[in-house]
A and B are shown apart, each in its own frame.
Chain A
Amino acid sequence: MATAPAKTRAPIYEGTRIPHPIPTVLRVSDELRATGDVMTVNFGPNHPSTHGVLRLVVDLFGEDVVGLEAVVGYLHTGFEKNMEQKTWWKAITYPERIDYLSYQNNELVFVLAIEQLLALETPPKASWMRTCLCELNRIHSHLVWLGTAALELGAISMFWYCFREREQILDLFEMVTGARMHTRYFQAGGLAEDIPRGFYPEARKFVEWMPHAVDDYEALVDRNKIWLERTQGLGLLSADDAIALGQSGPVLRASGVDWDLRRVQPYLSYADCEFRVPVHHEGDVYARYRVHMEEMRESTKIIAQCLDRLEGMEGEPWIADDRKVVLPPREELHTSMESLIHHFKIVTEGYRVPEGEIYVTVESPRGEMGCYVVSDGGPKPWRVKFRAPSFVALEATATCMTDALIADMIAVVGSLDTVMGEVDR
């Protein structure tokens, strides 16, 4: 076995593979159905390898997948309806709970929407710290993806290694925000609290260690024959199909499209950061894995640049000085009547956001995270709608599973990096 020639990766297909007429459903042809050998299997919604509660209805002809339909909605909890009942201030807690792996990015997109409607400027320290936390969050999300996706293909040790570094990141979050997950650290106007001084040395330690950790992961699987056989040449998606299916993030970059919102429409402090956007052209599961790995290295570099800047900003404001939106400092409540009134008004009634509509997007670990917000000028959002990258990623399942085997389904669905909480909202 050890001397077997290296498998050449299947070339990416020509033309389009998007099923017709329904782009998200792979249909069994009538001739095949007539043979009587097609078996319909229900996969999920409660299955350990579906990253939550995804149900796939699969038609099998032997081991070949000849039909496939993804069924979602098992985690629908009505986040968007709930947010319409909360003041802007209180609604910030909701978007992070949509996606339990990239909470800071989700929180950011909603906070940015509020700030743009308010035309509120954030101080540079807040912007750099947000960048830093969003990148830590990206590594965190990629680690959980890598650990679970590898676990499903049998690489159990990968899971332990990934969760080792994940633990470090969660410790950093806990130090800054007091919570390991769902931190709610971003406020409209900046950050909820100043950065604790102990954060910098701990974050430095992490930045120094992380590249070695990525080396560890690569040593585990990069030359592992089983891993390569089960990822290379599978789940193909061409660049044109990826764009037509609205794919974004690592899936799009693994299909050869050089596209990253952090670079093409820089937000926060990304314009002042130096980083590379990893792009692979094979469009298979292995390419998606490579993009995730290289992004973790790039994110580490961005965090180091953020720390360089933040360490020189000791004593600078971390939130905008706007008492109509931002809570007054706690100590002022004892001495200042105006502060007490502002505090009371913001907490009870909430601030009003001018009438208007806006669509804000950020590059979350899973791709383009969008937030469409409508305000009628009142203290509660009129409508909030999230563009969840996971929801869109699952639309590509049928295309990626064309001509695939049932055993590859786990690898392919896993490589799309979906979080079902975000899919169903």
Chain B
Amino acid sequence: MTYEGVPGLVETVEAHGETTLVVDPARLIEACTHLRDAEGFNFLSDISATDYLGWGSVGVSGYIGTARGRDLNLPATQGLQVLPQAKSKRFAVNYHLLSVSDRPRRVRLQAWVDDGEAVSSVVGVWPTADWHEREAWDLMGIPFDGHPNLKRILLDDDWEGHPLRKDYPIGGEPVRFSEEE
């Protein structure tokens, strides 16, 4: 299965039996419409944004929990650190697509953006994207261009910050322990 015809396709990654299509965020709507109409991906399963801030700044060592990780000659198993593969930008917005048809299949669409860069809203392509995009905005701070109702969904309307970002502290919410404080 190839997806050569997808507009704005930058890269195709195959891993763990899944296909990831990295697309140019500027041509996201075109790519989504193409996948829905020409490839039959009529079902948007989920939108998940990931923050890669600090990715690779701390190397990892110790044994990997696989058969390969038992090879003591591999770098990371002897305390030498390895770094994960660098990412092009800070945020990845993943669209998990599914074809509800006689030929069920899945594909992941991935768009990379930096902090503050907007992604086009796909509500016009799959109406279910409405709440998924609001959640990504609320928790990760990804602005979606053209979303009809982009406001916080899980947190209070006056909440500051986006908690799932890596620079958002744990326990960032001040807790009052006594009347005097």
Chain A residues at the B interface, C-beta cutoff of 8 Å: 18, 21-25, 72-73, 76, 78, 80-81, 85, 116-120, 188, 243-246, 257, 259, 264-265, 322, 324-325, 345, 349, 351-359, 361, 368, 370, 372, 374, 376-379, 382-383, 385, 387, 391-392, 394-395, 424-425
- CB-based contact A78/B163 at 8 Å: yes
Which residue of the partner chain B has the closest CB to A342?
B63
Q: A73-B153, A359-B108, A372-B48 are in contact. Are A24 and B63 (CB under 8 A)?
A: no
- CB-based contact A243/B131 at 8 Å: no
Which residue of the partner chain B has the closest CB to A385?
B48
Interface: B60 (CB within 8 A)? yes
Interface: B16 (CB within 8 A)? yes
Which residue of the partner chain B has the closest CB to A396?
B128
Bound Cα distance from A424 to B60, whole angstroms:
32
CB contacts (< 8 Å) of B118 on chain A: these are none
Which residue of the partner chain A has the closest CB to B124?
A21
Contact of B66 among A118, A257, A357, A383 (CB under 8 A): A118
Interface: B104 (CB within 8 A)? yes
Interface: B18 (CB within 8 A)? yes
What is the distance, in angstroms, from B92's C-beta to the closest C-beta of chain A?
Answer: 9
- CB-based contact B55/A24 at 8 Å: no
Scoring B residues 29 to 58 as 1 if CB is less than 8 Å from chain A, else 0, what string do you get?
000000000000011111010110001101
Give the 6 A-B residue pairs with the shortest CB-CB distance, closest first. Answer: A246-B128, A23-B127, A351-B65, A387-B46, A385-B48, A73-B154
- CB-based contact A354/B18 at 8 Å: no
Which residue of the partner chain A has the closest CB to B48?
A385
Contact of B50 among A85, A257, A356, A374 (CB under 8 A): A374
Interface: B137 (CB within 8 A)? no
- CB-based contact B130/A352 at 8 Å: no
CB contacts (< 8 Å) of A391 on chain B: these are 131, 135
| 24 A-B pairs with C-beta separation under 8 A | A21-B148, A22-B130, A24-B149, A73-B152, A76-B155, A78-B163, A81-B164, A246-B128, A259-B100, A264-B104, A324-B66, A352-B60, A352-B65, A353-B65, A357-B50, A359-B18, A359-B46, A361-B45, A370-B96, A376-B56, A377-B82, A379-B60, A383-B50, A395-B128
Which residue of the partner chain B has the closest CB to A392?
B128
Scoring B residues 129 to 142 as 1 if CB is less than 8 Å from chain A, else 0, what string do you get?
01100010001000
Bound Cα distance from A418 to B70, whole angstroms:
44
Contact of A356 among B15, B82, B106, B128 (CB under 8 A): B15
- CB-based contact B130/A24 at 8 Å: yes
Contact of B45 among A81, A368, A383 (CB under 8 A): A368
Q: A80-B164, A118-B66, A265-B104 are in contact. Are A24 and B155 (CB under 8 A)?
A: no
What is the distance, in angstroms, from B139's C-beta to the closest C-beta of chain A?
Answer: 8
Bound Cα distance from A81 to B138, whole angstroms:
13
What is the distance, in angstroms, from B22's C-beta to the closest C-beta of chain A?
Answer: 12
Q: A246-B44, A265-B104, A324-B66 are in contact. Are A383 and B128 (CB under 8 A)?
A: no
How many residues on B have C-beta within 8 angstroms of the other chain's C-beta atoms? Answer: 54
Bound Cα distance from A294 to B118, whole angstroms:
46
CB contacts (< 8 Å) of B5 on chain A: these are none
What is the distance, in angstroms, from B96's C-beta to the closest C-beta of chain A?
Answer: 5
Contact of B84 among A246, A355, A424 (CB under 8 A): A355
Bound Cα distance from A359 to B95, whole angstroms:
11
B residues 61-85 near A (Cβ < 8 Å) are: 62-67, 69-70, 76, 82, 84-85
Scoring B residues 8 to 31 as 1 if CB is less than 8 Å from chain A, else 0, what string do you get?
000000011010100000000000
What is the distance, in angstroms, from B27's C-beta to the closest C-beta of chain A?
Answer: 22
What is the distance, in angstroms, from B112's C-beta to the closest C-beta of chain A?
Answer: 13
Q: A324-B69, A359-B106 are in contact. Are A352 and B84 (CB under 8 A)?
A: no
- CB-based contact B63/A324 at 8 Å: yes
Which residue of the partner chain B has the closest CB to A259?
B100
What is the distance, in angstroms, from B69's C-beta to the closest C-beta of chain A?
Answer: 6
What is the distance, in angstroms, from A22's C-beta to the closest C-beta of chain B?
Answer: 5
What is the distance, in angstroms, from A95's C-beta to the closest C-beta of chain B?
Answer: 15
Bound Cα distance from A391 to B130, whole angstroms:
11
Bound Cα distance from A21 to B129, whole angstroms:
13
What is the distance, in angstroms, from B88's C-beta to the closest C-beta of chain A?
Answer: 15
Bound Cα distance from A356 to B64, whole angstroms:
13
Bound Cα distance from A356 to B17, whole angstroms:
12
CB contacts (< 8 Å) of A372 on chain B: these are 46, 48, 94, 96
CB contacts (< 8 Å) of B1 on chain A: these are none
Bound Cα distance from A309 to B127, whole angstroms:
43
- CB-based contact A376/B60 at 8 Å: yes
Interface: B175 (CB within 8 A)? no
- CB-based contact B96/A354 at 8 Å: no
Bound Cα distance from A378 to B55, whole angstroms:
11
| B16, B70, B85, B127: residue with the most chain A Cβ atoms closer than 10 Å | B127
Bound Cα distance from A325 to B93, whole angstroms:
31
CB contacts (< 8 Å) of A379 on chain B: these are 60, 62
CB contacts (< 8 Å) of B94 on chain A: these are 357, 359, 372
CB contacts (< 8 Å) of B51 on chain A: these are 383
CB contacts (< 8 Å) of B131 on chain A: these are 24, 391-392, 394-395
Bound Cα distance from A204 to B170, whole angstroms:
47
CB contacts (< 8 Å) of B43 on chain A: these are 243, 246
Interface: B123 (CB within 8 A)? yes
Bound Cα distance from A383 to B64, whole angstroms:
18
Q: A23-B128, A355-B84, A359-B106 are in contact. Are A72 and B100 (CB under 8 A)?
A: no
